[in-house]
Amino acid sequence: MKISSIRNDFPVFEKNKNLTYLDSAATALKPKQVIDSVVQYYSEYPSNVFRGLYPLSQRATEAYEKAREKVAQFIHAHSPSEIIFTRGTTESINFIAYAWGRLNIHSNDEIVTTIMEHHSNFVPWQELVRENGAVLKVIDIDDSNKDSLFRIEKTVFSKITTNKTKLVAITHVSNVLGTINPIKEIIAGVKRINPHCLVLVDGAQAVPHMSVDVQDLGCDFYVFSGHKMMGPTGIGVLWIRKELLEIIPPFHFGGSMIEKVTLEESRYAPPPQKFEAGTPHISGAIGLGAAIDYMNTIGVTNIQKHEMALTEYTLKRLNDFGSITMYCPQIVRHRGGVLSFNLYDSENHLIHPHDVGDVLGLENICVRAGHHCAMPLATRLGIPASVRVSLHIYNDKKDIDRLIEGLEKVRKIFK
Amino acid sequence: MDDLYREIILDHYKHPHNAGEISHPSCSAEKVNPLCGDEIRMDIVINNDKVTAIKFSGQGCAISIASASLLTEYSMGKKIKDLLRFSKDDIVDLLGSELTPARLKCALLSLEVIHTALKNYETKKT
Ligand SMILES: Cc1ncc(COP(=O)(O)O)c(C=O)c1O
């Protein structure tokens, strides 16, 4: 697999010479195949779905539903009706918190989550327990020694789950540490103790980089965003296990989600339509379908292999650089391509990540500096913020070499 | 770039003036920059509507610390109403460098904190 030819698929590199993009965990770059699919929808068949009897609308409906099928196959869902299009991970999680959580989680019930969650898988639950007097339990990471995996161990979950636990909400891959949590084992442990406890998995950083099988994982809800997997912004996915599709009420009400409306009451359409009120993000779904095609053409295992090799190289270059503290596991086998670290000056003072990011930015090297929407984790690690580098299929060793050159420059300025 | 990280700014960052706290301030305030989690607190002593002592504490990047240092220095002896009129452009002048929108937020944090503290003082007084 030639990365140089893959880079040719991304118009952004033509428009920005010397771009080193290391912020794919925030959002991924878009290949022309995805951009073209969106342009094609808007220029050739820009009609609404499910409504018109004319050919354009039929074509739009088919493309929209085809995208749903692609998503279903991609994450090994039982059927496309389990796939609900949302605006993204955040909306998918709020969907569950509102439509299911507020009906089923009551005072003294428990929600279990972890310290490494993105705010989008933390604040909705904090808000829910604040409203209804349920209890939010937060599991810690293991970073006790140099070889620690910075992950959530399954044994901890088994200890903390009780018959009052209604929901476990956990991320598949951390957007700060790069940790891959042992989700399948964790879920098996949780369900052994409490078979009625539902499990929501935040797959925002997993689906773009590794093969995911929602049935094999054994979760009940799986959520992710299109824009992190080279698809458009504003489209995301909520997967709901089929047994729950009938039980969970709609989140939004209005057009498209009904079967029959009278003055007295309304009957809802079957899933997934009952969960998608209003005109959906048609071009977004089509673009996401194209992104999945693109990933399949390269092969998800090839993407993962490439990122693992590059992660290994990045870890080595950063470790050799010195005066660096890494907040991530060192063993490539157990991690994705997200690396967080901080630099220190000659007097061993933190060089603020914001300054690092700024100096790199002036060289057109894009990294993230901040708390990465995971403030409880930053607090737990005892740092105000960190620098984050995240990789994707279009990155190569040259990007990492430029990063290291940029860091040299930072070190020179902040001696 | 080397413009923004001139010696003077780095010097104010590494050896900030007026760093610390005041035990009985006339007013104080603190704020967080949600983008990066930086936190700045200001304690101010006021006599005859003039700032007679001011100290800042907290953590931040080079730009936010340097601007807190420069701004506290500037504020000494100034009238409340003049400080409340101190603007974004004045900060840029003080730092002597153009700033990107993200960095402007860092530079403005301490000004916002001073403004909040002074407004608190004025409402308390009336
Ligand atoms: C692990 C994780 N969860 C959730 C989100 C939120 O995704 P979105 O902003 O697309 O809703 C992100 C993205 O920043 C993430 O990395």
Say if the Cβ atoms of A385 and B36 lie within 8 Å: yes
Instruction: Give the torsion through C-alpha atoms of B79, B84, B86, B88, to 10 deg.
Output: 160
| B86 CB within 8 Å of a chain A CB | no
ipTM higher than 0.90?
no
Say if the Cβ atoms of A378 and B37 lie within 8 Å: yes
On the question of pLDDT at B1 being above 60, the answer is: no
On the question of pLDDT at A2 being above 90, the answer is: no
Specify whether the backbone of A118 is left (phi greater than 0), alpha (psi in -120 to 50) or beta. beta
Q: What is the pLDDT of residues A29-51, one digit of tens each?
A: 999 999 999 999 999 999 999 87
Distance CA A183, CA A200 (A): 10
| B32 CB within 8 Å of a chain A CB | no
Report whether A58 contacts A260 (CB < 8 A).
no
**More confident of the two residues A292 and A382:** A292
Distance CA A395, CA A13 (A): 11
A212: its two tokens: 């995911």
B22: its two tokens: 């005041």
Tell me how close the Cα of A413 comes to any Cα of chain B, in angstroms: 7
DSSP symbol at A335: B
Q: Which residue of B has its CA nearest to A378?
A: B37
Q: How far is the CA of A187 from the centre of ligand 1 (A)?
A: 21
Distance CA A177, CA A226 (A): 21
Nearest ligand 1 atom to alpha carbon A227: 10
Q: For ligand 1, say whether the CB of A171 is within 6 Å of any of its atoms.
A: yes
Residue whose tokens read 């890494």: A326
Please choose, from the candidates A34, A40, A32, A38, the residue with its C-alpha nearest in 3D space to the C-alpha of residue A11.
A32
Contact pairs from chain A to chain B, CB under 8 Å: 48
Q: What is the pLDDT of residues A237-287, one digit of tens each?
A: 999 999 999 999 999 999 889 999 999 999 999 999 999 999 999 999 999
Q: What is the pLDDT of residues A159-188, one digit of tens each?
A: 888 999 999 999 999 999 999 999 999 999
Q: How far is the CA of A68 from the centre of ligand 1 (A)?
A: 21
Whole-number Cα distances in Å, A21 to A370, A397, B124: 17, 12, 50
User: Which of A81-85, A333-337, B78-82, B98-102 is least confident?
Assistant: B98-102
Please choose, from the candidates A381, A386, A379, A376, the residue with its C-alpha nearest in 3D space to the C-alpha of residue A113.
A376
The b/e string for A215-238 (b: 16+ C-beta within 10 A; e otherwise) is: eebbbbbbbbbbbbbbbbbbbbbb
- CATH number of the domain to which B43 belongs: 3.90.1010.10
Q: What is the mean pLDDT of residues A209-232?
A: 98
Structural domains of chain A sorted by starting position, each given as residue range(s) with its CATH number in brackets: 3-22+299-410 (3.90.1150.10), 34-296 (3.40.640.10)
User: Long-range pairs for A95-101 at CB < 8 Å and ≥24 separation?
Assistant: A95/A238, A95/A251, A95/A275, A96/A200, A96/A221, A96/A223, A96/A238, A97/A124, A97/A125, A97/A127, A97/A128, A98/A251, A99/A248, A99/A249, A99/A250, A99/A251, A100/A198, A100/A244, A100/A248, A100/A249, A101/A125, A101/A128, A101/A167
- The DSSP bridge partners found for residue B28 are B43
Dihedral of alpha carbons A272, A277, A278, A282, sign: negative
State the total domains in chain B: 1
User: Long-range pairs for B82-86 at CB < 8 Å and ≥24 separation?
Assistant: B83/B51, B83/B114, B83/B115, B83/B118, B84/B115, B84/B118, B84/B119, B86/B111
The b/e string for A255-277 (b: 16+ C-beta within 10 A; e otherwise) is: ebbbeeeeeeeeebbebbbbbbb
Q: Which residue of B has its CA nearest to A352?
A: B61
What range does the domain containing B59 cover? 3-125
